[in-house]
Amino acid sequence: MSGAAVNEYHPGLEGVIASETAIANIEGTDGAGGLEYRGYRIEDLADKVSYEETAFLLLHGDLPNREQLREFDGRLRKARAIPEALVTLLGEIPANIHPMDALRSAVSVLSHFDPDVNAAPTDHEANVRKAERMIAQMATAIAYRRRLSKGLPLVPPREDLDHAANFLYMVSGKVPSKTMRDAFDLSLVLYTEHELNASTFSARVTVSTLSDIYSGIVAAIGTLKGPLHGGANEEAWKVLERVGSPDKAESWIQDALARKERIMGFGHRVYKTGDPRARILKEHCIALAKEIGDDRWERIAEPIEKAVTSQKNLPPNVDWPSARLYHYMDLEIEIYTPIFAMARVAGWAAHIIEQLDHNRLMRPRAIYTGPPHRPVRPIEQRS
C-alpha cells in the first residue's frame, strides 16, 4: 500500500471511489448528468415502467420482456406470505418500537426460513432467489407490523394486485385509486437504487467478508434508519407540520434561515443543481393533492422550497416531495423510511450480488490522531 493512499484523508469518504458498479450511475453516461439505472435515465423510466420491471432490471441486468415480467411478477406474488413465527414476533414487539427496528428484526428472522438458507454466500442464482423473496416479504412484514402495532386485524396479501397496490391495500384494507397507486409505484421506482449511498456501502462492506445477503440487508436497514439518510423523509414531514398553515410559511422559513437552521429534505452530497427524483415526484404531489381536495401542504411547501433553493442554493432532494406524497396516501410518518427500505431492497440486493460476484474485502485505513508512543507505567505511578 502506498504512503499516499494511507495519508490522504477524505472526511466521510467524500469523493473516494471504493467500488466499480454496472448498476447505477449518478452522473449520467450521456454527458447530461442525472441518475441512470443500468444505462436507463430515471426520467425515461418514470411513469413508463413499474417497480417490478425496475427490480428485474437491477437484479437481472435489463428490462424484462412481457414473458419475463409475467414470470417475475408471478414469483413475487407467490412469495408474499411470511412465516407464522414472524407474524407472532411482529405482534409481540412493543408498540413503541420504531418500525425500522422491527423491520431489521423481521429480515433477520426471514433468513432462517429461506429455502436457500444453506447456499454458499457466493451462489449467484441462490442470491437472486433470496432477493426476489425479500422484495415480496419485506412489504408484507412492514404492512403487518403497522397493523399489529395499532391493534388492527391483519389484511392478507392479494395475488390479483400488483406490488404497489397490494402494499397499500394491506396497510389500509382498501384498494387504492389509480392515481394513488401510480404515484406510490413511481416513488418505489425512484427509491429503488442510488449507487454507493451509505446503506448500500454498508451492505457491500458486510458481504465483502463473505457474509450472506440477509446480513448485508440487515446492515443496510440499520444504516438507512438514521435521519441523515432514509429518516430524512420523516424529518421533512415534521418541517411542514411545524409550519402548520400556508400563511405562516414565508415568515417561518425566513426565521429558520436567519437562525441557520438546517431544513431537512434539501441539498444532496452529489446533486448540486437539484435531485431529478424530486422534480418528478413533485408533479405527482400536485396531482394527489388535487384528488383528495386539499392543497394546503403544497402551498406550505412551495415558499419553503423557493426560499431554501434561492437563498441557500440547496434544491430539494427526493425526501421533500415524498413526505407529502405519502401523507396524501394516509400513510403514517413512522413507515415512511420502511417504505424507502421496501423499495431500496432491490438495489441493495443487486449491489450485494455484484460485490459477491467480484469480491474483495473492504478494509480502509484511518489516520491516527492519538498520543505518540508512550511507556506503560506501574499502576502506583499513574496520576
Report the catalytic residues.
268, 319
Give CA torsion, residues 78, 337, 237, 327, to 10 deg: 10
Q: Cα separation of 67 and 47, whole Å? A: 20
Whether the CB-CB separation of 181 and 187 falls below 8 Å is answered with no
Question: Which grid coordinates are listed for 251?
Answer: 415568515
Whether the CB-CB separation of 179 and 287 falls below 8 Å is answered with yes
Asked whether the CA dihedral 304, 310, 312, 315 is positive or negative, the reply is positive
Question: Which grid coordinates are listed for 307?
Answer: 426560499
Question: Which grid coordinates are listed for 231?
Answer: 429518516
Angle at CA of residue 334, ends 12 and 316, nearest 5°? 50
Angle at CA of residue 246, ends 241 and 248, nearest 5°? 80
40 SS3 class = strand
What is the SS3 string spanning 312-323? HCCCECCHHHHH
